[in-house]
Amino acid sequence: MQKQMVNGVNIAYERRGKGTPMVLVHGFPLDHTSWDALVPHLEGQVDLILPDLRGMGQSDFNHAGAPEGAYTVADMATDVVSLLDALQVQKVVVVGHSMGGYVALAFARAYPQRLAGLGLISTQALPDAPERKAGRYATAEQVATHGVSVVADAMAPKLTANPDQVPALRESILRQPAAGVIGALKAMAERPDSTELIATFKFPVAIVHGLADALIPVDRSREMKAFIPQAVLTELPDVGHSPMLEAPAETAQALKKVLS
């Protein structure tokens, strides 16, 4: 992987393929390798930029002197735009999976002029309900005490509807640093409601959701579609929370709809 110091943090990223620039922003508690199955379906016509969000994968947790855990999905979006600046990429399609979707929406809020289109996979515009938010902080405390295995055990089976994929996902979660998992939990808990924002979108939007998603129900994507008339919603039967892993060809086809 390559590394780029942006926004005070070393961000690790891969760049694959040629064509229209597209950033793939991974979900929680994963890293850029969650896109591995999708990449071969896109790299023939897309210039793919695959960052590890701060604190995850091989990216730094925080820059020296910053308070622990004190970052937001907006900071993660600024990391992404700063990486694009460093790579001299202007307009991009930003695709986010789940937490990556929260980051993609934060990117759209702060940097709309940089967007050629948006891909929203297994995500939502709504913020956390109070009990979900409290649950995130409780999980963060458990991770601080017992380590990342708490999250790996609870989440890996929910990330896919295909039981064969659970062991590799569990391993992938176990590779994540505890500080980054805690930071991401807090960032997700504090994310804003993006419902009014999405109603302003004028660029192409692809929305993808598995009908067997155990973490975020497909209704969240149907609601987003209702606010974004030009959006194309692809619902995938028998697919869980990770369409790019469970149905990569169909997911790539859906994302290509935002390429001009």
Binding site for ligand MLT (CB under 6 A): 27-28, 98-99, 188, 215
- The dihedrals phi and psi of 204, each to the nearest 5 degrees, come to -65, 140
Q: 65 vs 130, which CB is nearer to ligand MLT?
A: 130
CB 99 to ligand MLT: min, Å: 3
Provide the β-strand partners of residue 46: 20
Helix (H) or strand (E) holding 185: helix 178-189
CB 132 to ligand MLT: min, Å: 8
Q: 39 vs 188, which CB is nearer to ligand MLT?
A: 188
Q: 234 vs 242, which CB is nearer to ligand MLT?
A: 242
Q: 12 vs 245, which CB is nearer to ligand MLT?
A: 245
**Residue type (1 letter), 100:** G
CB 64 to ligand MLT: min, Å: 27
Q: Could you check whether the bond before residue 51 is cis, i.e. omega within 30 degrees of 0?
A: no
Q: 4 vs 139, which CB is nearer to ligand MLT?
A: 139
For 38-86, give the DSSP string: THHHHTTTEEEEEEPPTTSTTS-S--TTSPTT---HHHHHHHHHHHHHH
CA-closest candidate to residue 152, choices 129, 172, 136, 127? 172
Residue 192: how many other CB atoms lie within 10 Å = 16
CB 97 to ligand MLT: min, Å: 7
CB 188 to ligand MLT: min, Å: 5
